[in-house]
């Protein structure tokens, strides 16, 4: 089990990320990534999939052509956990 | 440009598919695929991505762990076209 982040930890974590938005209603962070075309978008998704599998923590995400919306939360924790911040950082590093 | 299918063509096309549901409100067909885990789900997505890129026609889709929801429509045609039926058949072949 992993603990849900408290407000201070959450704010600190969000401050270390690039462009992720926290939704208090769902306890999730999300980010819409835009690419040149489907090939670039799916290339990004493939790299995120590997990072997610390595982390043992997976996104809820959708894709439409060149757009990928990634949502992260920890269902077991009932909200945002350190796992989400960690995976978001890995995703930020992929698009950096 | 590609033409939107008429009702008879649409019914004929749907009859050749396996478990796709047509939504008249959106003019799209969709199918929820379930797998053993994320690895299997993303393996399926990778094969669909290659089929989509080859066809030059791409799904709107989402994934959450072992579940992949695929939605197909042809925005240029304002609804379902032969391209959607063709890609759905390719996806059916991947999971067969």
Confidence at B1, pLDDT banded by 50, 70, 90: confident
- Which H or E run includes A54? helix A38-55
* Residue B8, domain member (yes or no): no
- In chain B, the number of structural domains is 1
Contacts of A64 in chain B (CB under 8 A): 58, 60-61
Confidence at B63, pLDDT banded by 50, 70, 90: very high
C-alpha count within 13 angstroms, C-beta hemisphere, residue B3: 5
A94 CB neighbour count, 10 Å cutoff:
16
In angstroms and rounded to an integer, the radius of gyration of the C-alpha atoms of chain B is 13
- Give the position of tokens 């890995």: A90
* Residue A1, domain member (yes or no): no
Contact B60 A64 (CB under 8 A): yes
Q: Between A and B, how many CB-CB pairs are < 8 A?
A: 37
pLDDT digits (tens, 9 = 90+) for A65-91: 999 999 999 999 999 999 999 999 999
Instruction: Specify the pLDDT at position A47.
Output: 98
Question: Which residue in B has a C-alpha nearest to residue A56's C-alpha?
Answer: B38
Burial class (CB in 10 A: 0-12, 13-18, 19+), B72: buried
The answer to whether residue A1 scores a pLDDT higher than 80 is: no
* Residue B83, domain member (yes or no): yes
Query: Three-state SS for B72?
Result: strand
- Give the position of tokens 């991947």: B94
Per-state percent for chain B, helix, strand, coil, to nearest 5: 45, 25, 30
Length of chain B: 96
Q: Which of B48, B49, B60 to mutate to test the interface with A (most CBs of A within 10 A)?
A: B49
Instruction: Specify the pLDDT at position A12.
Output: 97
Contact A58 B38 (CB under 8 A): yes
Domain of residue A85, residue span: 7-95
Confidence at A4, pLDDT banded by 50, 70, 90: very high
Domain holding B39: CATH number? 3.30.1360.20
Contact A60 B62 (CB under 8 A): yes
Instruction: Specify the pLDDT at position A77.
Output: 94
* Residue B48, domain member (yes or no): yes
* Residue A2, domain member (yes or no): no
The whole-angstrom distance between residue A24's C-alpha and the CA centroid of its chain comes to 15
pLDDT digits (tens, 9 = 90+) for B8-49: 999 999 999 999 999 999 999 999 999 999 999 999 999 999
| Cα gap B55→A38, rounded to integer Å | 12
Instruction: Specify the pLDDT at position B24.
Output: 95
Enter the tokens of residue B43. Answer: 């393996």
**At CB < 8 Å, which residues of chain B contact A?**
38-39, 42, 45-46, 49, 52-53, 58-65
Instruction: Specify the pLDDT at position B57.
Output: 97
What totals of helices (H) and strands (E) does chain B contain, helices first? 3, 4
Question: Which residue in A has a C-alpha nearest to residue B48's C-alpha?
Answer: A42
A62 CB neighbour count, 10 Å cutoff:
18
């Amino acid at each position: 089990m992993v603990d849900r982040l408290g407000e201070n930890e959450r704010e600190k974590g969000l401050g270390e990320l690039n462009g992720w938005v926290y939704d208090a209603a769902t306890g999730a962070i999300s980010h819409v990534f835009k690419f040149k075309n489907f090939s670039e978008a799916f290339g990004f998704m493939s790299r995120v999939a590997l990072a997610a599998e390595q982390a043992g923590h997976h996104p809820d995400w959708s894709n439409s052509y060149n757009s990928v919306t990634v949502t992260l939360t920890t269902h077991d924790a009932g909200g945002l956990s350190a796992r989400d911040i960690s995976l978001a950082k890995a995703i930020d590093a992929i698009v950096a």
